[in-house]
Homo-oligomer: A and B are copies of this chain.
Amino acid sequence: MSRPADTVGRLLVRCPDRFGIVAAVSSFLSASGANILSLDQHATATYGGTYFQRTEFALPSRDLDGLRAAFASDVARHFGMDFTVTDAAAPKRIGVLVSKSDHCLLDLLWRTQRGELDVEVAVVISNHPDLAPAVGSFGVPFVHVPVTPETKPEAEARQAELLAGVDLVVLARYMQIVSGSLLAAVGSPMINIHHSFLPAFVGAVPYRQAKERGVKLVGATAHYVTEELDQGPIIEQDVVRVNHRHSAADLTRLGADVERSVLSRAVRWHCEDRVMRDGNTTVVL
Protein backbone atom coordinates (compact mmCIF):
# COMPACT_ATOMS: atom_id res chain seq x y z
CA MET A 1 0.00 0.00 0.00
CA SER A 2 1.09 3.57 -0.54
CA ARG A 3 -0.11 6.97 0.66
CA PRO A 4 -0.42 9.93 -1.73
CA ALA A 5 2.54 11.68 -0.11
CA ASP A 6 4.87 8.74 -0.67
CA THR A 7 7.43 8.66 -3.41
CA VAL A 8 6.97 5.55 -5.52
CA GLY A 9 10.27 4.09 -6.64
CA ARG A 10 11.31 1.25 -8.90
CA LEU A 11 14.31 -0.93 -8.18
CA LEU A 12 15.67 -3.03 -11.05
CA VAL A 13 18.27 -5.63 -10.23
CA ARG A 14 20.35 -8.04 -12.29
CA CYS A 15 22.94 -10.41 -10.86
CA PRO A 16 24.16 -14.01 -10.85
CA ASP A 17 21.44 -16.14 -9.27
CA ARG A 18 22.10 -17.32 -5.73
CA PHE A 19 20.41 -18.01 -2.43
CA GLY A 20 18.52 -15.30 -0.57
CA ILE A 21 18.19 -12.44 -3.01
CA VAL A 22 14.46 -11.79 -2.52
CA ALA A 23 14.89 -11.88 1.23
CA ALA A 24 17.88 -9.56 1.14
CA VAL A 25 16.18 -7.01 -1.10
CA SER A 26 12.85 -7.05 0.68
CA SER A 27 14.42 -6.91 4.14
CA PHE A 28 16.53 -3.96 3.03
CA LEU A 29 13.46 -2.15 1.73
CA SER A 30 11.48 -2.96 4.82
CA ALA A 31 14.29 -1.74 7.07
CA SER A 32 14.45 1.46 4.99
CA GLY A 33 10.78 2.13 5.64
CA ALA A 34 9.81 1.31 2.07
CA ASN A 35 6.71 -0.78 1.40
CA ILE A 36 6.75 -3.18 -1.53
CA LEU A 37 3.90 -2.51 -3.96
CA SER A 38 4.81 -5.15 -6.50
CA LEU A 39 7.62 -7.56 -7.07
CA ASP A 40 8.41 -9.67 -10.09
CA GLN A 41 11.50 -11.73 -10.69
CA HIS A 42 12.97 -14.21 -13.13
CA ALA A 43 15.89 -16.59 -13.09
CA THR A 44 17.12 -17.83 -16.43
CA ALA A 45 18.04 -21.29 -15.19
CA THR A 46 17.58 -23.54 -12.19
CA TYR A 47 21.31 -23.37 -11.47
CA GLY A 48 23.86 -20.79 -12.30
CA GLY A 49 21.66 -18.53 -14.35
CA THR A 50 21.10 -14.80 -14.24
CA TYR A 51 18.62 -13.34 -11.80
CA PHE A 52 16.37 -10.36 -12.61
CA GLN A 53 14.06 -8.52 -10.24
CA ARG A 54 11.77 -5.51 -10.53
CA THR A 55 10.33 -4.08 -7.33
CA GLU A 56 7.98 -1.14 -6.97
CA PHE A 57 7.86 0.40 -3.53
CA ALA A 58 6.37 3.35 -1.66
CA LEU A 59 8.85 5.44 0.27
CA PRO A 60 7.40 7.79 2.90
CA SER A 61 10.80 9.42 3.47
CA ARG A 62 10.89 10.36 -0.24
CA ASP A 63 14.67 10.04 -0.15
CA LEU A 64 15.41 7.91 -3.23
CA ASP A 65 19.01 9.10 -3.39
CA GLY A 66 19.68 7.98 0.14
CA LEU A 67 18.04 4.67 -0.52
CA ARG A 68 20.07 4.17 -3.70
CA ALA A 69 23.34 4.80 -1.91
CA ALA A 70 22.43 2.53 0.97
CA PHE A 71 21.34 -0.26 -1.40
CA ALA A 72 24.63 -0.06 -3.26
CA SER A 73 26.69 -0.57 -0.15
CA ASP A 74 24.36 -2.83 1.85
CA VAL A 75 23.02 -5.21 -0.80
CA ALA A 76 24.25 -4.72 -4.34
CA ARG A 77 27.95 -5.08 -3.54
CA HIS A 78 27.38 -8.35 -1.74
CA PHE A 79 25.45 -9.96 -4.60
CA GLY A 80 27.38 -8.40 -7.46
CA MET A 81 24.28 -6.62 -8.70
CA ASP A 82 23.71 -4.20 -11.54
CA PHE A 83 20.82 -2.08 -10.37
CA THR A 84 18.88 1.10 -10.96
CA VAL A 85 16.51 3.03 -8.73
CA THR A 86 14.07 5.32 -10.53
CA ASP A 87 11.26 7.63 -9.50
CA ALA A 88 8.00 6.29 -10.91
CA ALA A 89 6.56 9.79 -11.06
CA ALA A 90 9.29 11.15 -13.31
CA PRO A 91 8.26 10.70 -16.94
CA LYS A 92 10.96 9.52 -19.29
CA ARG A 93 12.11 12.08 -21.87
CA ILE A 94 12.00 10.58 -25.34
CA GLY A 95 13.20 11.64 -28.76
CA VAL A 96 11.55 10.27 -31.90
CA LEU A 97 13.13 9.62 -35.29
CA VAL A 98 10.66 9.30 -38.13
CA SER A 99 10.50 9.51 -41.93
CA LYS A 100 7.21 10.00 -43.81
CA SER A 101 4.84 7.41 -42.33
CA ASP A 102 2.74 8.94 -39.61
CA HIS A 103 0.90 6.05 -38.00
CA CYS A 104 3.42 5.04 -35.32
CA LEU A 105 4.35 8.62 -34.50
CA LEU A 106 0.76 9.84 -34.19
CA ASP A 107 -0.12 6.90 -32.01
CA LEU A 108 2.69 7.75 -29.60
CA LEU A 109 1.77 11.44 -29.52
CA TRP A 110 -1.91 10.74 -29.07
CA ARG A 111 -1.37 8.22 -26.27
CA THR A 112 0.95 10.68 -24.57
CA GLN A 113 -1.61 13.46 -24.89
CA ARG A 114 -4.40 11.38 -23.36
CA GLY A 115 -2.17 10.25 -20.50
CA GLU A 116 -1.84 6.61 -21.56
CA LEU A 117 1.88 6.89 -22.05
CA ASP A 118 3.74 8.61 -19.24
CA VAL A 119 6.50 10.26 -21.27
CA GLU A 120 7.62 13.70 -22.31
CA VAL A 121 8.32 13.87 -26.04
CA ALA A 122 11.34 16.18 -26.16
CA VAL A 123 11.75 16.29 -29.92
CA VAL A 124 10.65 14.66 -33.17
CA ILE A 125 13.36 14.54 -35.84
CA SER A 126 12.60 13.60 -39.43
CA ASN A 127 14.60 13.32 -42.62
CA HIS A 128 11.51 14.68 -44.40
CA PRO A 129 9.49 17.82 -43.65
CA ASP A 130 6.08 16.21 -44.25
CA LEU A 131 5.02 15.53 -40.68
CA ALA A 132 5.81 18.99 -39.26
CA PRO A 133 2.19 20.20 -39.12
CA ALA A 134 0.88 17.02 -37.51
CA VAL A 135 3.59 17.13 -34.84
CA GLY A 136 3.07 20.85 -34.31
CA SER A 137 -0.60 20.35 -33.52
CA PHE A 138 0.50 18.34 -30.46
CA GLY A 139 2.75 21.18 -29.30
CA VAL A 140 5.86 19.04 -29.75
CA PRO A 141 9.10 20.38 -31.31
CA PHE A 142 9.76 19.08 -34.83
CA VAL A 143 13.15 19.31 -36.50
CA HIS A 144 13.81 18.49 -40.13
CA VAL A 145 17.26 16.95 -40.55
CA PRO A 146 17.71 15.84 -44.16
CA VAL A 147 19.90 12.79 -44.66
CA THR A 148 21.74 11.96 -47.88
CA PRO A 149 24.58 9.49 -48.35
CA GLU A 150 27.00 12.43 -48.49
CA THR A 151 25.63 14.34 -45.51
CA LYS A 152 24.95 11.38 -43.25
CA PRO A 153 27.83 12.11 -40.82
CA GLU A 154 26.77 15.75 -40.37
CA ALA A 155 23.11 14.72 -40.14
CA GLU A 156 23.88 12.19 -37.44
CA ALA A 157 25.95 14.74 -35.55
CA ARG A 158 22.94 17.06 -35.60
CA GLN A 159 20.65 14.25 -34.49
CA ALA A 160 22.97 13.36 -31.62
CA GLU A 161 22.99 16.99 -30.54
CA LEU A 162 19.19 17.16 -30.58
CA LEU A 163 18.89 13.86 -28.74
CA ALA A 164 21.37 14.73 -26.01
CA GLY A 165 19.95 13.93 -22.62
CA VAL A 166 16.88 11.96 -23.68
CA ASP A 167 16.19 8.72 -21.82
CA LEU A 168 15.02 6.83 -24.88
CA VAL A 169 15.05 7.21 -28.65
CA VAL A 170 12.11 5.75 -30.58
CA LEU A 171 12.49 4.93 -34.26
CA ALA A 172 8.87 5.25 -35.36
CA ARG A 173 9.29 3.94 -38.91
CA TYR A 174 12.57 5.74 -39.55
CA MET A 175 13.75 4.47 -42.91
CA GLN A 176 17.46 5.16 -42.48
CA ILE A 177 20.06 2.89 -40.95
CA VAL A 178 21.31 4.22 -37.62
CA SER A 179 25.09 3.97 -37.52
CA GLY A 180 27.05 2.56 -34.64
CA SER A 181 28.53 5.97 -34.08
CA LEU A 182 25.10 7.59 -33.67
CA LEU A 183 24.15 4.83 -31.25
CA ALA A 184 27.32 5.49 -29.28
CA ALA A 185 26.99 9.27 -29.41
CA VAL A 186 23.44 9.23 -28.10
CA GLY A 187 24.13 6.65 -25.42
CA SER A 188 20.47 6.06 -24.56
CA PRO A 189 18.63 2.92 -25.59
CA MET A 190 16.85 3.03 -28.95
CA ILE A 191 13.67 1.10 -29.78
CA ASN A 192 12.84 0.37 -33.42
CA ILE A 193 9.63 -0.93 -34.93
CA HIS A 194 10.27 -3.40 -37.73
CA HIS A 195 7.38 -4.06 -40.06
CA SER A 196 7.60 -7.84 -39.98
CA PHE A 197 7.46 -10.73 -37.63
CA LEU A 198 11.23 -11.05 -37.12
CA PRO A 199 13.30 -13.04 -37.86
CA ALA A 200 11.12 -13.52 -40.94
CA PHE A 201 11.62 -10.94 -43.65
CA VAL A 202 14.51 -8.86 -42.46
CA GLY A 203 15.23 -5.85 -44.61
CA ALA A 204 13.36 -2.96 -46.11
CA VAL A 205 10.44 -4.51 -48.01
CA PRO A 206 8.92 -7.13 -45.69
CA TYR A 207 5.32 -6.79 -46.87
CA ARG A 208 6.35 -7.44 -50.46
CA GLN A 209 8.35 -10.45 -49.35
CA ALA A 210 5.39 -11.63 -47.25
CA LYS A 211 3.08 -11.40 -50.25
CA GLU A 212 5.53 -13.32 -52.41
CA ARG A 213 5.98 -16.07 -49.83
CA GLY A 214 2.24 -16.31 -49.35
CA VAL A 215 2.21 -16.17 -45.56
CA LYS A 216 -1.16 -16.18 -43.79
CA LEU A 217 -0.15 -13.79 -41.00
CA VAL A 218 1.87 -10.59 -41.09
CA GLY A 219 3.35 -8.95 -38.05
CA ALA A 220 5.51 -6.34 -36.45
CA THR A 221 8.43 -6.42 -34.03
CA ALA A 222 9.64 -3.81 -31.56
CA HIS A 223 13.28 -4.34 -30.63
CA TYR A 224 16.26 -2.53 -29.20
CA VAL A 225 18.59 -1.19 -31.85
CA THR A 226 22.06 -2.69 -32.03
CA GLU A 227 24.76 -2.34 -34.61
CA GLU A 228 23.49 -5.43 -36.34
CA LEU A 229 20.49 -4.40 -38.43
CA ASP A 230 17.18 -6.07 -37.40
CA GLN A 231 19.02 -8.30 -34.92
CA GLY A 232 18.55 -6.51 -31.59
CA PRO A 233 16.72 -7.90 -28.54
CA ILE A 234 12.99 -8.26 -29.20
CA ILE A 235 10.64 -6.51 -26.77
CA GLU A 236 7.23 -7.21 -28.30
CA GLN A 237 5.63 -8.73 -31.40
CA ASP A 238 2.17 -9.24 -32.76
CA VAL A 239 0.50 -10.45 -35.95
CA VAL A 240 -2.68 -10.06 -37.97
CA ARG A 241 -4.34 -12.64 -40.22
CA VAL A 242 -4.21 -12.09 -43.98
CA ASN A 243 -5.16 -14.10 -47.04
CA HIS A 244 -4.70 -14.41 -50.78
CA ARG A 245 -7.03 -11.48 -51.45
CA HIS A 246 -4.75 -9.02 -49.70
CA SER A 247 -2.34 -7.16 -51.95
CA ALA A 248 1.04 -6.00 -50.71
CA ALA A 249 -0.65 -2.61 -50.20
CA ASP A 250 -3.31 -4.24 -48.01
CA LEU A 251 -0.61 -5.94 -45.97
CA THR A 252 1.00 -2.54 -45.48
CA ARG A 253 -2.30 -1.09 -44.25
CA LEU A 254 -3.14 -4.00 -41.97
CA GLY A 255 0.42 -4.15 -40.73
CA ALA A 256 0.33 -0.46 -39.84
CA ASP A 257 -2.25 -1.15 -37.13
CA VAL A 258 -0.08 -3.88 -35.68
CA GLU A 259 3.05 -1.74 -35.88
CA ARG A 260 1.58 1.11 -33.92
CA SER A 261 0.15 -1.05 -31.16
CA VAL A 262 3.32 -3.14 -30.84
CA LEU A 263 5.53 -0.06 -30.69
CA SER A 264 3.27 1.65 -28.15
CA ARG A 265 3.36 -1.39 -25.88
CA ALA A 266 7.14 -1.67 -26.13
CA VAL A 267 7.64 2.02 -25.35
CA ARG A 268 5.19 1.84 -22.45
CA TRP A 269 6.94 -1.16 -20.92
CA HIS A 270 10.37 0.37 -21.39
CA CYS A 271 9.23 3.62 -19.76
CA GLU A 272 7.70 1.73 -16.86
CA ASP A 273 11.14 0.17 -16.30
CA ARG A 274 9.85 -3.29 -17.10
CA VAL A 275 12.30 -4.37 -19.79
CA MET A 276 15.72 -5.80 -18.95
CA ARG A 277 18.18 -7.16 -21.48
CA ASP A 278 19.33 -10.75 -21.19
CA GLY A 279 22.00 -11.21 -23.82
CA ASN A 280 20.20 -10.69 -27.10
CA THR A 281 16.77 -11.30 -25.59
CA THR A 282 14.61 -9.39 -23.12
CA VAL A 283 12.97 -10.09 -19.81
CA VAL A 284 9.74 -8.07 -19.44
CA LEU A 285 8.75 -7.91 -15.77
Contact = CB atoms under 8 A, between A and B. Distances in A.
Interface in A99-128: 102-103, 106, 110, 114, 116
A234 B219 contact: no
A159 interface: no
A234 B257 contact: no
Nearest to A3: B47
B41 A41 contact: no
How many subunits of this chain does the assembly comprise? Answer: 4
B215 A237 contact: yes
Nearest to A110: B106
A181 to B, nearest CB: 26
A270 interface: no
Q: How large is the interface on A (under 10, 10 to 19, 20 to 34, 35 or more residues)?
A: 35 or more
Contact of A43 (B27, B37, B200, B284): B37
Contacts of A179: none
A100 to B, nearest CB: 11
A283 to B, nearest CB: 4
A61 interface: no
B41 A38 contact: yes
Nearest 4 CB-CB pairs, A to B? A214-B281, A23-B30, A23-B26, A200-B200
14 contacts: A1-B18, A1-B49, A19-B30, A20-B30, A22-B22, A23-B30, A26-B26, A27-B27, A39-B39, A199-B215, A214-B282, A217-B219, A217-B239, A244-B283
